[in-house]
Every structure is written in structure tokens, then in C-alpha cells.
């Protein structure tokens, strides 16, 4: 069993990551922590997490709310860019957007009173060498945990960081991916912590080279034809618009499942091609390159010295992942009735 904490910032694919983590074989989900990110405030994200767990009848999974802002962040105007982007979507997709990232209804239970940072610290300390933290949004919660309790770097099994890009162009600047860009100082703290890190970049999530890993209407048809339950029904109902947006707007083959892919890297590393460990750093300076992930490969004249601890995912068996993903969703529905 891989014991994981899932740290999420969003709506769409984060829901699928939670469901995936609940249903995939070999995972013990210790808890879900939330933070402010691409899809809204930490309050909204926390509600989405709680509602998703209720849908899966897994109200036993602890949920803790965390960071409400990045450590430093970016210019207010730049931070609002995703909001303007949603306006552009609205113009283009009109009424079809009704089910996209809707306001979450009031959950049936509250999150735990403890801060996400404390939950992360206490969970890691209680099981040295066993906990993997999979953070699929900005790294703020994880970085704050490392700052408050530096000892957890030596106690965690690994940090999985979803973010960055090397071959695939960035989605905020030409070289920066959103999660890293949104809190570059936090990402840097995690990558420099000395703990083992698996980095899951855009290259193996939002690039048509890994098209078989993306959710398509064919996959929804497969799910519809198989055993049904409230979880599968919810996915079939909610995700067509996501697939349309990512096909028509981003010109990807389907809806990329970045967050679930990050979770899969813990239980099924065999589906991934990962590099040997490298020192990976984050550029902090200029607007143009802020948030760029820089891997120290080869030989250079200047020495930048940093921990050689990060394995970068370079390729993914998309078909294998999609089969695992669909099976996990079905398993959640099956578990619901037991």
C-alpha cells in the first residue's frame, strides 16, 4: 500500500484525481489538503473536495484547508489572467459552459479544524519513510510545511510535484507552467529540500505525444457501457464540456488528466519513463522566465550546487494509464455499494 496525501488546488481534474486515488489499487489516501489556485479560492476548493468525497461515500477521509495565497505570487494583473481567460471561454462556448467549474454547494461536513500545513507535518512525522505527498497545484502548502518543520524532508517518502515543462511550451509564459509560476518560491523550496521528488511536467500531460492518456468522448462511452453508479454518472455528465474545451481551444486530443497522472506515478512508476535524479531549480527573476523549471544536466562552467534528488517524468504509457484510470472510477462506484 502506498500511503499518500493529496494536495489539490482546483476543480476539474482534481476531482478526477481524488476519485482515482480512492479507486486505484494499492493506495491508502491519508487525507486531502486544499489551497487557493487556478480554479478558485481555498474555500471553494475545499468544498469541491468535501463534496467529491461525499459523492464517493468516503467521508472518512480527512480534509484540511490550507494556503489562501502564494508566498510571493505575481503582479495582480497577471494573477487575474486566468479569470479573463474564463471570460474568453464564455464568449466562445456560451451555454455549453454551464457545467464548467460551477460554484460548489455547501458540503455535508466541515473540513478539519487543523491547518493543512499541520496535517501534512503530523502525518509525515507519524509514519517516517511511508508518506508520499502528491501536490497537484502550486506548492505553497508543502513549502510552508517544510519551512515550519524542516525535519519532514528526511521523513517523507517522496514529494510528487505536478508542474513545470521542458519540451512542451509553457502555458503562462513560453517557458513557465502555471503551478510553478503561481508560487515559484514555494516550488523552489520543495525542489531544494533534499527529499526525493518526482516531477510530473506538462510534457507528459498536456502534449499530444501522450494523447492516449487524455479523456475523450470515446472513454466516456466506454464508461457509459460498463457498470454504472453515481460516480461514473457524475463523470459522464460533467466532463463532456471539459473535453470540448481542451479539444477546441487547446487543440489537445482530449481532456488531460494531469492530476491523476501525478497520483499514478506513485503506484505505477512502471507506466512512466523517469530520468535519473537531477538537481532541478526554478527561475525567480524576470516576468518572462519567472517560474521556469531548469534541470541541471550535462556539464557547466558555473556551479549552482543543489540537491540531486528530482526524477523527471519524460514519457507515459498513456493506454496503460487510461485503463487504470477507468478501472479506478468503476472501483469507487463498486466500493460505494459495499
Partner 1 sequence: MTPVPVLLDCDPGHDDAIALVMAHRSPAIDLLGVTIVCGNATLDRTTVNALRILEFIGATEVRVAAGCVSPLARELVLGTADGPSGLEGSPYLPEPKTKLDPRHAVEFLADHLRGATAPVTILATGPLTNIGFLLLKYPGLKPKIARIVLMGGAMYRRTEYITPTEFNIFCDPEAARVVLDSGLDVTMVGLDVTMHVIVEEPQFAELRKIDTPLGKVVLDWLKFYEKLHRGQMGVGGALHDPLALAVVIDPTLITTRDAHVAVDLTGSFTFGATVADYWNERGLGTNVHVASTVDSDRFFDMLYALLRD
Binding site for partner 1 (CB under 8 A): 67-69, 71-72, 115, 117, 144, 147-150, 185-186, 188-189, 284-286
Cβ distance to partner 1 smaller for residue 150 or 174: 150
Say if residues 244 and 204 touch (Cβ distance below 8 Å).
no
Say if residues 199 and 293 touch (Cβ distance below 8 Å).
yes
Cβ distance to partner 1 smaller for residue 150 or 226: 150
Closest to 191 measured CA to CA, from 220, 159, 226, 168: 159
Cβ distance to partner 1 smaller for residue 97 or 294: 294
Say if residues 262 and 17 touch (Cβ distance below 8 Å).
yes
Determine how many CB atoms are found less than 10 A away from the CB of residue 169: 14
Cα 65 from Cα 67, distance rounded (Å): 7
- What SS3 class is residue 287? coil
Least spacing, CB of residue 79 vs partner 1, in Å = 13
Cα 4 from Cα 159, distance rounded (Å): 10
Closest to 192 measured CA to CA, from 256, 143, 236, 257: 143
Least spacing, CB of residue 5 vs partner 1, in Å = 17
Least spacing, CB of residue 155 vs partner 1, in Å = 16
Cβ distance to partner 1 smaller for residue 195 or 235: 195
Least spacing, CB of residue 68 vs partner 1, in Å = 6
Least spacing, CB of residue 151 vs partner 1, in Å = 10
| E strand or H helix at 274 | strand 272-274
Cβ distance to partner 1 smaller for residue 116 or 205: 116
Q: Which three cell numbers stand for residue 185?
A: 518560491
Cβ distance to partner 1 smaller for residue 183 or 317: 183
Least spacing, CB of residue 141 vs partner 1, in Å = 10
Closest to 66 measured CA to CA, from 144, 14, 12: 144
Amino acid at each position: 500500500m502506498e500511503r499518500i496525501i493529496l494536495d489539490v488546488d482546483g476543480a476539474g481534474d482534481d476531482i478526477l484525481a481524488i476519485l482515482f486515488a480512492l479507486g486505484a489499487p494499492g493506495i491508502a489516501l491519508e487525507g486531502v489538503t486544499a489551497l487557493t489556485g487556478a480554479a478558485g479560492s481555498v474555500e471553494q476548493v475545499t468544498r469541491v473536495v468535501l463534496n467529491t468525497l461525499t459523492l464517493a461515500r468516503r467521508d472518512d477521509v480527512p480534509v484540511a484547508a490550507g494556503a489562501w495565497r502564494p508566498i510571493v505570487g505575481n503582479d495582480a494583473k497577471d494573477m487575474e489572467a486566468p479569470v479573463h481567460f474564463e471570460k474568453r471561454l464564455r464568449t466562445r462556448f456560451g451555454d455549453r459552459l454551464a457545467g464548467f467549474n460551477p460554484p460548489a454547494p455547501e458540503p455535508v461536513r466541515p473540513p478539519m479544524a487543523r491547518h493543512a500545513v499541520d496535517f501534512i507535518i503530523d502525518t509525515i512525522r507519524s509514519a517516517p519513510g511511508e508518506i508520499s505527498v502528491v501536490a497537484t497545484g502550486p506548492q505553497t502548502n508543502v513549502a510552508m510545511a517544510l519551512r515550519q518543520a524542516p525535519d519532514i524532508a528526511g521523513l517523507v517518502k517522496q514529494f510528487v510535484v505536478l508542474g513545470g515543462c521542458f519540451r512542451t511550451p509553457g502555458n503562462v509564459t513560453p517557458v513557465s507552467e502555471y503551478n510553478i509560476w503561481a508560487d515559484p518560491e514555494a516550488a523552489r523550496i520543495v525542489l531544494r529540500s533534499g527529499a526525493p521528488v518526482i516531477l510530473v511536467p506538462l510534457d507528459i500531460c498536456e502534449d499530444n505525444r501522450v494523447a492516449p492518456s487524455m479523456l475523450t468522448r470515446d472513454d466516456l462511452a466506454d464508461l457509459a457501457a460498463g457498470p454504472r453508479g453515481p460516480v461514473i454518472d457524475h463523470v459522464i455528465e460533467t466532463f463532456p464540456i471539459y473535453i470540448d474545451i481542451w479539444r477546441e481551444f487547446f487543440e489537445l486530443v482530449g481532456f488531460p488528466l494531469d492530476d491523476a497522472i501525478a497520483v499514478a506515478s506513485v503506484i505505477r512508476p512502471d507506466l512512466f519513463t523517469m530520468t535519473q535524479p537531477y538537481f532541478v531549480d526554478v527561475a525567480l527573476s524576470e516576468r518572462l522566465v519567472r517560474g521556469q523549471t531548469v534541470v541541471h544536466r550535462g556539464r557547466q562552467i558555473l556551479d549552482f550546487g543543489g540537491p540531486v534528488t528530482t526524477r523527471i517524468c519524460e514519457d507515459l504509457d498513456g493506454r496503460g494509464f487510461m485503463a487504470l484510470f477507468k478501472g479506478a472510477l468503476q472501483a469507487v462506484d463498486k466500493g460505494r455499494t459495499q
